[in-house]
Structure formats: C-alpha cells, structure tokens
Amino acid sequence: MTRNASPRKQGVLLINLGSPDSTDVGDVRRYLHEFLTDPRVLDNPAPIRHAVVNLAILPTRPKESAHAYEQIWTDEGSPLIIITEKVATLLRERIGANFDQDLPVVVGMRYQNPSTRSALQKLAGLGVEDLFVVPLYPHYAMSSYETAVAKVKDEARDLGLDMSLTFQPPFFDDPDYIEAMVEVAKPYLEEDYDKILFSYHGIPERHLRKSDASGCHCLQSEDCCQKASPAHATCYRRQVHATTWAFTEKAGIPPEKWDLAFQSRLGRDPWLMPYTDKAIEDYPGEGVKKLVVISPAFVSDCLETIEELGMRGKEDFLAAGGEDYRLVPCLNEHPRWIDTLEKFVKTFVDGGFHDARPTVPVART
C-alpha cells in the first residue's frame, strides 16, 4: 500500500491535446481556431498569427480536417479522448487496489472538451488541494508539454484555486515507458522487416531555438543532439533521439535497421527534418519493401497515427512499390503503460517530486 506523505487531499489530472467535439466542420473550425491561436503553437507576433489563422488556414483547413476526422471517428467519439478516458479508469482501478487513499483521477484536454478548466473545477469540488498533473507527452515541446502546463497554471489562477501543482516531467527515457513500447511493438518486429521508422510529430525549427535556454546550442551544429548540454532539458529533438536510442537498445535493433523522421508538417517554415512522408515514398526505391512504423510521441492513437500514418502513409508506401506496411499502435490501454502511470503517481504520493518543483522552464518568446 502506498501512503500519502502529504496531509492535503491529493488528486491526479491527466492532460492530453484534445479533439474537436464532433466531425462537423463548425466544431473542427472551433478546435483549430483555439489550437492555432495558441502562441506556443503558432508563435508569430499576434497580428501575423491571427492573419495566418483567419485568412490562410481557417477558410479551407476545417473542411479537410473534418474529412480526416470522419475517417477515424468511432461511435464513442474521438479515439484520443476515448482512450485517455479509458486510461484514467484503469489508473483509478490501480489506485483503488494499491493505494491507501482515495485519489481522484480526472481527464482534461488542452483544447476543447473536456476542458482543462472543467477538470480543475471537478477536482476542486472533490476537495483536492495537492494536484499531480501528468501532461501525456513523453517529450518537451513548447507546443505540447509547455502549453499544457501553462494552461493548467493559468486556469487554476483564474479560478482562484488554493491548490498546489506538481507536474510530471517529460518521461522520454523512462525505462518503463520504453519497455511498455517495446512490449507493444514485439509482435510487429517478430516478423521479417527491412526497416523500422520512428516517426515523431514535427515542430518548426524555430521552436527548438526558442526553447534553448542557453541560446547557443540547439541546431548550432550538425551533431548538437549528440553533445552534452543543459539545453537538452527542453530540446524536443534531443529527447526524441533519446527515446529512439533507448528503444532500439532495449529491442536489440541494429543502426542500419532504423530511421527517425518527423511528420505532420504545417505551413512553409522549415520544420525538423527528415520528413516522414518523404521517407515513406522514397523507401521502396531504396529497396525497403517491408516497413514497420512506430510513433512514440503519442501515447494514445489519434488523427496523426490512425489517419496520417495508418491510412495515408500506408497508401503512399504501397503506391511507391512497397509490399508490407505495419503500424505499431500507441501505448493506449496497455497494462505496462498503466504500470508506468501508476509509478508516476506513486512517486508523487511518496513525495518524490518534492525537490523537482517547479519543473517547467518557460521558453523565450
């Protein structure tokens, strides 16, 4: 049994990115508007950001995105939200079985619903005073981890909550997270394959430079991610490499059998390279006919895995002459992932994050 080291009532908030409320174009527009007017996502000066969003993106993108969401939508709703809710239920059951206190677990989304604000209100209504927040992103990026943390802080302040907040740090090289992924990938790697592609959500290169607190490390040399630096604490590129190194070592995958690339590029700015869509199209011409794809930046399957990698990626690979394309699912409700989350909560309850507060460096804007 895990004992509560704090006299204050504790609770857990799982925060994920969010989806539109439905596949209606209006709901998708509302979602994209909230997402893309976040200054940590589109970080141009406000007038430019609003012009880009309102004049270049919102007139056409919602219809295209709504169509993509229709391909993945289930009777229960958005996969990302449904899976996150199921994970919360499983974590609640674990806490009920293994902890000696009632610790509510509530889900909030950074964008749209269930909102971060409503989740905090729910937790406050349950008497929670000492909150453990788990942003469901293994890697630090100002457009994912940092904006989730900032949103929780802003909403808690705005609601006038007397709640202490502790944030789970990015867990990109946590051995249990890595082992859980290796376990999920095992059946996909047991059959013959030519290459495994680690595909991570991309970000603009500029975001990496902004998040470099030293101001002089990230993208300043070809091998910046290989050289030790305090900048790595907030370097998305370094952290996705670290995940890949840990995974390939654990799974025994030799260097010639894997590649790393970045997906979901938006707009004309340079994003982290190489690009997943290009790699997938080029592979068959390079002799890679049997491809396994895995996307460790997402812990729950979502639009970017099911539609972008699972449908479009597969179609492009086969059209280019590929023969066998296998997408490894995300951690979703896998018991090893629930073990990992339970471990995070246990560390919090045991007071293990005490010295880690505050955990969030704020990127220079």
Ligand X SMILES: C=CC1=C(C)c2cc3[nH]c(cc4nc(cc5[nH]c(cc1n2)c(C)c5CCC(=O)O)C(CCC(=O)O)=C4C)c(C)c3C=C
Listing DSSP states for 49-102 in one string gives: HHHIIIIIITTTHHHHHHHHHHHH-BTTB-HHHHHHHHHHHHHHHHHHHHBSS-
Q: Is 19 in the site for ligand X (CB under 6 A)?
A: yes
Q: Is 298 in the site for ligand X (CB under 6 A)?
A: yes
Residue in 42, 103, 150, 293 binding ligand X, rule: CB under 6 A:
42
Q: What single-letter DSSP state applies at residue 275?
A: B
What is d(CA 249, CA 242) in angstroms, rounded to the nearest whole number? 11
Q: Which residues contact 149 (CB under 8 A, 6 or more apart)?
A: 133, 135, 167, 360
Using DSSP's 3-state secondary structure scheme, residue 17 falls into coil
**Residues in contact with ligand X, shown as a per-residue x/- string from 62 to 101 under the rule CB under 6 A:** ---x------------x-x---------------------
What is d(CA 312, CA 306) in angstroms, rounded to the nearest whole number? 9
Scanning 97-105, 114-122, 136-144, 180-188 for contacts with ligand X by CB under 6 A, the matching segment is: 136-144
User: Which of 14, 25, 35 lies closest to 111 in space, CA to CA?
Assistant: 35
Residue in 12, 14, 41, 91 binding ligand X, rule: CB under 6 A:
41
What is d(CA 194, CA 151) in angstroms, rounded to the nearest whole number? 42
**Residues in contact with ligand X, shown as a per-residue x/- string from 141 to 180 under the rule CB under 6 A:** x-xx------------------------------------
Q: Is 266 in the site for ligand X (CB under 6 A)?
A: yes
Residue 132 CB, nearest distance to ligand X (Å)?
21
Residues in contact with Fe ion by CB under 5 A are 218, 224, 235, 238
Among Fe ion, ligand X, none, what does residue 238 contact (CB within 5–8 Å per kind)? Fe ion
Alpha-carbon dihedral 327, 41, 132, 244, rounded to 10 degrees: 40
Residue 304 among known ligand-binding residues: yes
Q: Which residues bind ligand X (CB under 6 A)?
A: 17, 19, 32, 35, 41-42, 61, 65, 78, 80, 137, 141, 143-144, 201, 203, 236, 264, 266, 297-298, 302-304
Annotated binding site for Fe(2+): 201, 304
